[in-house]
A and B are shown apart, each in its own frame.
Chain A
Amino acid sequence: MQEEQEFIQELLNPKTQNEAFQKLLSVYQKPLYNHIRNIVLNHDDADDVLQNTFIKVFQYLKSFKGESKLFSWMYRIATNEALTFLNQKAKVNGVSTATLQNKAIDNLQADVFFDGNEIQLKLQKAIANLPEKQQLVFKMKYFEELKYEEISEILGTSVGALKASYHHAVKKIETFVTNAG
């Protein structure tokens, strides 16, 4: 925690800012990219959202109060940015976010930045049919392998509720994949 405070000070100090931000990027760009990509599914969209996320992180560092960890704060920004992006895209296209996601999954087969096999594609389709919260919890737990405590900090949900969400999500996915044959 002490180390994190020092790092935040480095990020705020104009003299050390650039170097510190480079460090922040090198540590967090991959996990945040994966987190965003799991939500928006498409690489170009994930790239846009990731850029916005880091720019917002930079802009709002001054107001970061250190009440939560830098890690969970950044994940929270990334999650909000990704969900807002999806909602706006759905609105522009005049469809629901679920429809938009299903369309994105259909496009995955032709996506050069997706090399998933049949079971991976089925899993994606099964996830798209879950409620938003369960989708988030499942992706963060299963793909990103975050701990329940970490997810709890990011989403502001109790560990118990998260475990229940994950359990429900797994059950629904298993049923979907089984039925899909």
Chain B
Amino acid sequence: MKTFKLENEPKIESGFKTPDHYFEDFSAKIMQQLPENEPKVISIFQKRKNILFAVAAVLVLALMIPVYTTLSTNTKTLDETTLENYITYQSNVNQYDLISELELEDINKIKTTIPIEDEAIEDVLTTNSDMEHLILE
């Protein structure tokens, strides 16, 4: 049996072949397959989201205007003449109702000191004859 020695043999090739034009086609195929280096993709919805938020905010503000105006008219303080007229001409509000609503503070506020001079009192007493009866009573 002849001993096989690799170094004594002429170089043995692997014997592998490739199809014709394999490498030319391979380059083209790979270049097509490469993932493109695109700039960072921002979803169209992401972009629109901001616009939608802005539109929504404007709409909410616009809808708030009538609400605000109604609220502001409602909170207007009644002017005194309107209140006075109401109390005067509204028959179902009587004196007792008013009194029951009055607090001590309110009463104190109503109190006014009228500076009346003695002479004036005298005048009233002398000119007004009915006063005598009143005093006697």
Shortest Cβ distance from B11 into chain A, in angstroms?
8
Contact with A along B33-72 (1 / 0, CB 8 A): 1110100000000000000000000000000000000000
- The answer to whether the Cβ of B14 comes within 8 Å of any Cβ in the partner chain is yes
Interface of A is mostly: helix
Chain B: CB-nearest residue to A145: B11
**Cβ 8 A contact of B3, one of A21, A116, A178:** A178
Query: Which residue of B has the minimal Cβ distance to A41?
Result: B16
In the complex formed, the residue of B with least CB distance to A176 is B4
B115, CB-defined interface residue at 8 Å: no
Say how far A4's CB is from chain B's closest CB, in angstroms: 21
Give the contacting residue for A37; candidates B5, B9, B14, B23; CB below 8 A.
B14
Is A97 in the interface zone, CB < 8 Å from B? no
**A37 and B2 form a contact (CB under 8 A):** no
B34 and A51 contacting across the interface, CB-CB below 8 Å: no
- A residues 107-160 near B (Cβ < 8 Å) are 108, 112-117, 119-121, 123-124, 142-143
Q: Is the CB of A123 within 8 A of B16?
A: no
Residue interface bits A35-79, CB-to-B below 8 A is 1, else 0? 001100101000100110011001100000000000000000000
Partner of B18, one of A18, A43, A170: A43
Using known A-B contacts A174-B6, A178-B4, determine if residue A43 contacts B26 with beta carbons closer than 8 Å.
no
- Does A181 have its Cβ within 8 Å of any Cβ on chain B? yes
* Residue interface bits B10-42, CB-to-A below 8 A is 1, else 0: 001111111100110011011101110100000
B5 and A174 within 8 A (CB) = yes
- Of B1, B2, B33, which contacts A51 at CB under 8 A? B33
Cβ contact within 8 Å between A114 and B17: yes
* Contact call A34/B14, Cβ cutoff below 8 A: yes
Separation of A26 and B23 alpha carbons in the complex (Å): 8
The reply to whether B30 and A123 form a contact with Cβ atoms under 8 Å apart is no
Given A114-B17, A174-B4, also A26-B27 (CB < 8 A): yes
| A181 proximity list for chain B (CB < 8 A) | 1
Contact A113 B12 (CB under 8 A): no
A residues less than 8 Å from B5 (CB atoms): 174
A54 touching B16, Cβ below 8 Å: no
Chain A nearest CB from B44 CB (Å) reads 23
Do A37 and B16 form a contact, CB below 8 Å, given A25-B27, A51-B30, A51-B33?
yes
- Report the separation of the CA atoms of residues A27 and B31 in the bound assembly, to the nearest whole angstrom: 15
Asked, given contacts A17-B37, A55-B34, A58-B35, whether A120 binds B18 with beta carbons under 8 Å apart, the answer is no
Which residues of B line the A interface, CB within 8 A? 1-6, 9, 12-19, 22-23, 26-27, 29-31, 33-35, 37
